[in-house]
């Protein structure tokens, strides 16, 4: 079974963050190890604060993991701190030629900014060139690229070094959800899904984690992107409200619904 390295923050509600990544990857059929970047004070309705791990501790944990394990893919989520971002770049460079999925989280699901200008610059200038695929929503793509139009933002992110860009549309005010995959070879693939009622906490984490899992399992970027979106839609459609705020995806049920699932 492939082993995926998760680098992400912790959401106490379990709807997003490192717990969401672990649930997703296990449902998709891969094992995972994890490096925690930040803890947060939040629930399904409110984001209060984030608390970065000490860089020296993060680096020590990464050094031990990389010396002990061999990974088939890496997923990067919430960073929260420029020092952590710089250390993550060093970690990724040591992983060798494996797929790297970057979910450039600039806002929490409840709307609060979780990245300042310095961290945004680190993501844009250091992590994008190391990424096999990045999965921003349109607002994140606009902020990282400086371009308003979806197609221009996708092309600019490719020019900045990402090999593939999957811009999601769940946060847009459109009848359906339209996601677009831009590839460095010029291919562009559009996916459209029925928009579900309500808002969901952790949909981006679910998408990026399942994408990393499918890449680790050996699928090409096109098949992996399609499977990840189908898994995410299934997890959202099976989800429910466990708190007073946004809906919580049901990744376990989505995994059971996969071909061969139990």
Q: What whole-number distance in Å separates Cα of residue 161 and Cα of residue 133?
A: 10
Q: What is the pLDDT of residue 256?
A: 72
Q: Residues 66-88: what's their mean pLDDT? A: 96
Mean pLDDT of the chain: 92
Q: What whole-number distance in Å separates Cα of residue 51 and Cα of residue 38?
A: 5
CB atoms < 10 A from the CB of 51, how many?
12
Determine contact, residues 38/10, Cβ cutoff 8 Å. Answer: yes
Phi, psi of 14 (to 5 degrees): 80, -5
pLDDT above 70 for 261 = no
From the list 18, 170, 151, the residue with the least C-alpha distance to 79 is: 18
pLDDT above 90 for 44 = no
User: Which residues make beta-bridge pairs with 248?
Assistant: 240
Mean pLDDT is lowest, of 5-19, 68-82, 205-219, 234-248, for 234-248
Q: Residues 191-201: what's their mean pLDDT? A: 88
% of residues, the chain, pLDDT over 90: 77
From the list 73, 54, 63, 69, the residue with the least C-alpha distance to 6 is: 73
CB atoms < 10 A from the CB of 1, how many?
10
pLDDT above 60 for 262 = no
pLDDT above 60 for 260 = no
Which secondary structure element, helix H or strand E, spans residue 42, and what is its range? Answer: strand 31-42
Kindly give the interhelix angle for 138-145 and 150-159, rounded to the nearest 10 degrees: 50
Q: Residues 43-61: what's their mean pLDDT? A: 94
Report pLDDT digits (tens) over 210-258. 999 999 999 999 999 999 999 999 999 999 988 888 888 999 888 777 7
Q: What is the pLDDT of residue 113?
A: 72
Q: What is the pLDDT of residue 233?
A: 93
Mean pLDDT is lowest, of 1-10, 92-101, 151-160, 187-196, for 187-196
Q: Residues 37-63: what's their mean pLDDT? A: 94
User: Coil, strand, or helix at residue 65?
Assistant: helix
> Which strand ranges, in their side-by-side order, compose the sheet holding 100-102?
47-52, 31-42, 3-10, 73-76, 100-102, 133-134, 164-167, 176-183, 188-194
Q: What is the pLDDT of residue 189?
A: 96
Q: What whole-number distance in Å separates Cα of residue 153 and Cα of residue 165?
A: 9
User: Which residues make beta-bridge pairs with 194?
Assistant: 176
Antiparallel, parallel or unpaired: β 176-183 and 31-42 = unpaired
User: Which residues make beta-bridge pairs with 141?
Assistant: none
Domain spanning 3-167+196-252, CATH class = alpha beta
pLDDT above 90 for 74 = yes
- pLDDT level of residue 1 (50, 70, 90 thresholds): very high
pLDDT above 50 for 120 = yes
Q: What is the pLDDT of residue 28?
A: 96
Q: What is the CA radius of gyration of the chain?
A: 17
User: Coil, strand, or helix at residue 34?
Assistant: strand
From the list 246, 260, 212, 262, the residue with the least C-alpha distance to 232 is: 212
Determine contact, residues 78/114, Cβ cutoff 8 Å. Answer: yes
Report pLDDT digits (tens) over 137-170. 999 999 999 999 999 999 999 999 999 999 998 8
Q: Which residues contact 241 (CB under 8 A, 6 or more apart)?
A: 44, 198, 247, 248
Q: Residues 171-182: what's their mean pLDDT? A: 88
Q: What whole-number distance in Å separates Cα of residue 67 and Cα of residue 154?
A: 36
- pLDDT level of residue 196 (50, 70, 90 thresholds): confident
Q: What whole-number distance in Å separates Cα of residue 224 and Cα of residue 74?
A: 14
Token pair of 158 as six digits = 């490719």
Q: Residues 47-64: what's their mean pLDDT? A: 95
């Amino acid at each position: 079974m492939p082993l995926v390295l998760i680098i992400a923050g912790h959401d106490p509600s379990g709807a997003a963050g490192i717990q969401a990544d672990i649930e997703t990857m296990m449902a998709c059929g891969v094992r995972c190890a994890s490096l925690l970047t930040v803890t947060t004070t939040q629930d399904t309705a409110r984001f209060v604060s984030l608390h970065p791990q000490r860089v020296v501790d993060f680096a020590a944990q990464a050094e031990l993991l990389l010396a002990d394990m061999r990974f088939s893919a890496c997923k990067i989520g919430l960073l929260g701190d420029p020092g952590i971002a710089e250390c993550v770049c060093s970690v990724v460079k040591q992983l060798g030629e494996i797929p790297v999925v970057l979910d450039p989280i600039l806002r929490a699901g409840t709307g609060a900014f979780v990245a300042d200008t310095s961290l945004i610059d680190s993501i844009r200038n250091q992590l994008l060139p190391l990424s096999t695929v990045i999965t921003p929503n349109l607002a994140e793509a606009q902020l990282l690229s400086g371009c308003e139009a979806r197609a221009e933002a996708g092309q600019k992110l490719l020019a900045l070094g990402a090999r593939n860009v999957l811009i999601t549309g769940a946060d847009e005010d459109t009848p359906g959800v339209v996601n677009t995959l831009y590839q460095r070879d010029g291919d562009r693939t559009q996916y459209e899904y029925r928009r579900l009622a309500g808002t969901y906490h952790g949909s981006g984490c679910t998408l990026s984690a399942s994408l990393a899992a499918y890449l680790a399992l050996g699928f090409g970027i096109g098949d992996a992107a399609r499977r990840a979106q189908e898994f995410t839609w299934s997890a959202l459609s099976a989800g429910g409200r466990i708190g007073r705020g946004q809906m919580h995806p049901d990744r376990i049920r989505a995994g059971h619904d996969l071909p061969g699932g139990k």
